[in-house]
Amino acid sequence: MVYFGRPLPRTQKALRVVMFFILLATGLLVMNIHAHIKHVTYSKKALFGNTSIMADTQEIKDIKSEIRNSKTNLQAEAEEKIRTLKVLCWVPVAAKNHNTSARVVMETWGRRCDGLVFMSSVNDPSIGAVDLGVKETYNNLWLKTRSALKYIYTRYLSDYDWFMKADDDTYVVVENLKYLLSSYDTSKPCVLGSRFYTGYFKAGYMTGGAGYALSRAAVRVFVEKALPDQEKCPLTWKKTGFPCEDVALAKCLSEMGVKFIDTRDDKGRGRFFQQPLRAALTDPKALLGRPFYKVTTGLNCCSDTAVTFHDLSASDLYMFDYLIYELRPYGAMNNVKFPPPVATGS
């Protein structure tokens, strides 16, 4: 190296070398500081990102917990509603059957009702039978039904929420009845049962054999508005004389605007049956007489929350009671949905 044409002094060469290393060290330091800043920045981003993910995860857990608690609360509310729901069961019975079919009802499904009354022509305190003052003839069944509902209106209307009519050869699964009724408002006039077509009017009717449940409002409307109207709710019909009691009741209710509820489940399976279970399972024709809605047949005929079966013997009633309340298949699980699933169309 030259300095104005002359070699640099030795001290200057040494100084240059020192400056070179100082500059090199400074560059390395700057690079190290820059890398450290990038590392810190990335770490902060990662930390904040992880914190955000953790927060999101916790929020999801909280939402799932709220959903579980909500379902638990809804089910608890539904179960409490079912527990407090009051049903009066009323059963038309001939006086000669007080010590036979009436007692079978008392010893089986009837004891699970909140109240049980036998509508008869003779008072019998031993079974809770009342004399309606109506003679026991087939033509008088409609008069007996009218008298029974007036009796209920006078004695029990404010004490019960629903009023379930069933024959003494019908089995009622009372728990399933309450389960179904829990979805409806008894302050609104409605009736639930097995709906059939009739050639007399469009509304159809709830067949008496399968039984039907009337809301408190429906009973009130029937007694206060329908019965006084002899044109819309006559005791006898011009063409047929004494009508079938279930058809006649349906005419009165429909004229008063009472709602007829579709009681099938969400799979279209029936809950109220005019037939015995064996017929419903094995004889499709038994279900296809005059159903108002499309029905399922065979092994898929009946809802797992079925309410009634009809045309049963005394031994059938005892058998149902045993199979439902005593027999426990090992490992069977109970999976009940709230509210009860219902059909979405006809």
**Distance (Å, whole) CA 301 – CA 283:** 10
Both tokens of residue 226? 């329908």
**Distance (Å, whole) CA 225 – CA 219:** 10
Amino acid at 64: K
**Distance (Å, whole) CA 174 – CA 45:** 63
Both tokens of residue 260? 């007829």
Residues 6+ apart with CB under 8 A from 31: none
25 class by beta-carbon count within 10 Å (0-12 exposed, 13-18 middle, 19+ buried): exposed
- Residue 213 has a pLDDT of 98
- Residue 2 has a pLDDT of 43
- Residue 59 has a pLDDT of 72
Both tokens of residue 301? 């005929």
Phi-psi region of 196 (alpha: psi -120 to 50; beta: other; left: phi over 0): beta
Chain centroid offset of residue 290 CA: 26
Return averaged pLDDT per consecutive 10 residues of the chain, 346 residues in all: 48 60 58 58 54 66 64 72 92 97 98 98 97 92 96 98 98 97 96 92 92 98 97 86 90 96 92 92 75 81 95 97 90 70 70
Both tokens of residue 190? 């409605």
- Residue 1 has a pLDDT of 45
- Residue 304 has a pLDDT of 93
Residues 6+ apart with CB under 8 A from 326: none
- Residue 239 has a pLDDT of 73
157 class by beta-carbon count within 10 Å (0-12 exposed, 13-18 middle, 19+ buried): middle
At how many degrees (to 10) do helices 174-181 and 10-84 cross? 120
Q: What is the DSSP string of 137-148?
A: -GGGHHHHHHHH
**Distance (Å, whole) CA 329 – CA 145:** 41
